[in-house]
Amino acid sequence: MVQTARAVMIHPQLLQQPQLFYRADNSHLCGREFATQVKQLSAQLEQYCHQHQIKQVLLYHPDSVQFSLWLLALLTANIDIVLPANGQPQSIKDASEQCDALVGHFENLAIKRDITQVIPHVIIPSAALFTNWQWPDKCCQSQLTFFTSGSQGAAKAINKAWWQLNLEVDTLAQTFSLNQASTVLSTVSHQHIYGLLFKLLWPLKAGATIVSTLFDYPEQLAQACAEHHEITLIASPAYLSRLAQDDVLAHYAKNLEHVFSSGGPLSDTVAYQLAENWHLPITQVYGSTETGGIAYRRLTERQSTAWQPFNGMSLSNVAGTQQMCLNSAYLPDKDILLDDLGLVHQNGQFELLGRIDRTIKLEEKRVNLDAVERHIASLAQVSEVKIIVLQGARRCLGCVIQLAANVQLPSSNVQKRELNQMIKSHLLLHFESVCLPRKFRYLTHMPYNSQGKLVLSQLEKLFESA
């Protein structure tokens, strides 16, 4: 029989929150009603899944309220959960191959064994509210499977035990302030670990108000920032880069309490600019789906670029190298080798120096692509840069540059050659000529996908024409 996860005393912050979720139609869902629905849904799930021998369920729902209800109900019933990267038919199909059933929202898809249709989700009258649902603690045996949005090839499945995520939520609560007066706005999907932790799990446990809308456009976000106060904004580097180009939030900066960025590197130029505009440094979080959050930093012109590890994190350099080694309270394994190069200081803080897998050989000369990008990004004319390896009769580097907001795209070959030469001259201070990019493309915006990632095939297409 399925064993219900043992629970600890429910966090009073959640139960006392009159506006736990703020929906797109301006309606609210209070904490007590949310807890009641989770309790009833988990009881139905436990009975149904035991009857049909269901142990692993795929969960997808674009609505944060419905997603949260199903997620916590499944955890309370001690059922394993698979989270596809998005709602695209192929993503759902690939992720569901090992699942016994599916729950959520699957528009225009022929879904086999959709529990959502079997267990109707009803709104419970306020008179029926009760409060004995409890947050699943570390003894919950559920496992969650995430899919990373790889830039090449198929997405990779990453398994995480619930105790690991729960511990990370507690670490966030100990490190940053979030309370019942806080309002959380997000531009990232809850289907990914960053959005799940920062947009849903941490705010739910803290009893903050969560605006369920996913803000795809800065104009939508600006309107929400005008309506709410004590805002914690969960954003991607790509979204923040767009705001740096057209800062529609500057007028409402006084309403911002925290701004988080994760899922990829945020350029120092963007971090400095937005910190100056909003009088609030961006909190950048370093980590991965595999490791969870490792460290954070807040960049201003007056601070160093060092990263501060979270409590429970310890980093060191592998003897005689710059490769970093991690010991984490979130992970059962010890001395985990990271794919990042870094310099770990005696106080435990560290500087990131690039990725190991981005060190290549060009005509027998070793060059780290992150280092090339870092030096190009230091130029005032450059907002963001990406270096890729172009295959051909002679392998070379291609350089894709998003120019700074005050720099116009070159309108002639002469102007482009001048820009190319300026960048090459700067790089020659650090690299041999054979290591320099041979081809350049200049853009006003980087071609990020819906997950805020740069896809290699899209960048390569930029170089298909002369």
92 vs 78: CA distance, rounded Å:
22
Residue with tokens 């930029």: 462
The answer to whether 291 and 331 have CB atoms below 8 angstroms apart is: yes
Fold topology of 1-161+170-181+203-212: Rossmann fold (3.40.50)
φ, ψ (nearest 5 deg) of residue 401: -125, 130
In sequence order, the 6+-apart residues with CB closer than 8 A to the CB of 86 are 189, 191, 450, 451
Q: Where are the domains of the chain?
A: 1-161+170-181+203-212, 215-357, 363-461
396 vs 445: CA distance, rounded Å:
23
* Residue 258 CB neighbour total at 10 angstroms: 19
Output the pLDDT for position 128: 44
- CATH number (3.60.21.10, 3.30.200.20, 3.20.20.10, 3.30.300.30) of 363-461 reads 3.30.300.30
Fold topology of 215-357: Rossmann fold (3.40.50)
The answer to whether 214 and 178 have CB atoms below 8 angstroms apart is: no
Partners of residue 400 on adjacent β-strands: 386, 441
Partners of residue 16 on adjacent β-strands: none
| Dihedral class, residue 267 (left if φ above 0, else alpha if ψ from -120 to 50, else beta) | beta
How buried is residue 385: exposed, middle or buried, by Cβ count under 10 Å (0-12/13-18/19+)? buried
12 vs 317: CA distance, rounded Å:
43
Q: How far is CA 228 from CA 189, 231, 279, in A?
A: 20, 7, 18
Residue with tokens 């302030």: 177
Residue with tokens 């027998």: 364
* Residue 397 CB neighbour total at 10 angstroms: 19
Task: For residue 272, give both structure tokens.
Answer: 């400095």
How buried is residue 100: exposed, middle or buried, by Cβ count under 10 Å (0-12/13-18/19+)? middle
- Candidates 234, 149, 142, 225; CA nearest to 196 is 234
User: DSSP of 219-269, one letter per residue?
Assistant: HHHHHHHHH-SSEEEEE-HHHHHHHHHS-TTGGGGGGEEEEEE-SSPPPHH
User: DSSP of 268-325, one letter per residue?
Assistant: HHHHHHHHHHHTS--EEEEEETTTEEEEEEE--TTS---BEEPTTEEEEEPTTSSEEE
Chain centroid, CA 97 distance in Å? 25
Output the pLDDT for position 283: 97
Residue with tokens 């004590």: 230
Output the pLDDT for position 6: 41
Output the pLDDT for position 12: 65
Q: How far is CA 125 from CA 43, 73, 119, 122, 128, in A?
A: 18, 19, 18, 9, 6
254 vs 231: CA distance, rounded Å:
9
* Residue 83 CB neighbour total at 10 angstroms: 23
The answer to whether 237 and 266 have CB atoms below 8 angstroms apart is: yes
153 vs 355: CA distance, rounded Å:
19
439 vs 399: CA distance, rounded Å:
6
107 vs 109: CA distance, rounded Å:
5
Per-position pLDDT tens, the chain of length 466: 344 444 434 566 787 888 899 888 888 998 888 988 888 888 888 888 888 899 999 999 999 999 999 999 999 999 999 999 888 887 888 888 888 888 888 776 655 566 666 565 443 334 444 456 677 776 789 999 998 754 444 568 899 999 999 999 999 999 999 988 999 999 999 999 999 999 999 999 999 999 999 999 999 999 999 999 999 999 999 899 889 989 999 999 999 999 999 988 888 888 999 999 999 999 999 999 999 999 999 998 766 789 999 999 999 998 888 999 999 999 988 888 898 999 999 999 999 988 887 888 787 678 889 889 999 999 999 999 999 999 876 789 999 999 998 899 999 999 999 999 999 999 998 888 889 999 999 999 888 876 667 778 889 899 987 5
Domain 215-357 identical in fold to domain 363-461 = no
10 vs 132: CA distance, rounded Å:
8
298 vs 312: CA distance, rounded Å:
20
The answer to whether 71 and 204 have CB atoms below 8 angstroms apart is: no
Specify the amino acid at residue 393. Answer: A
Cα three-residue angle 245-247-252, rounded to 5 degrees: 170
* Residue 350 three-state SS: strand
Strands of 336-344's sheet in order across = 313-317, 323-328, 336-344, 350-355
The answer to whether 139 and 94 have CB atoms below 8 angstroms apart is: no
Specify the amino acid at residue 66. Answer: Q
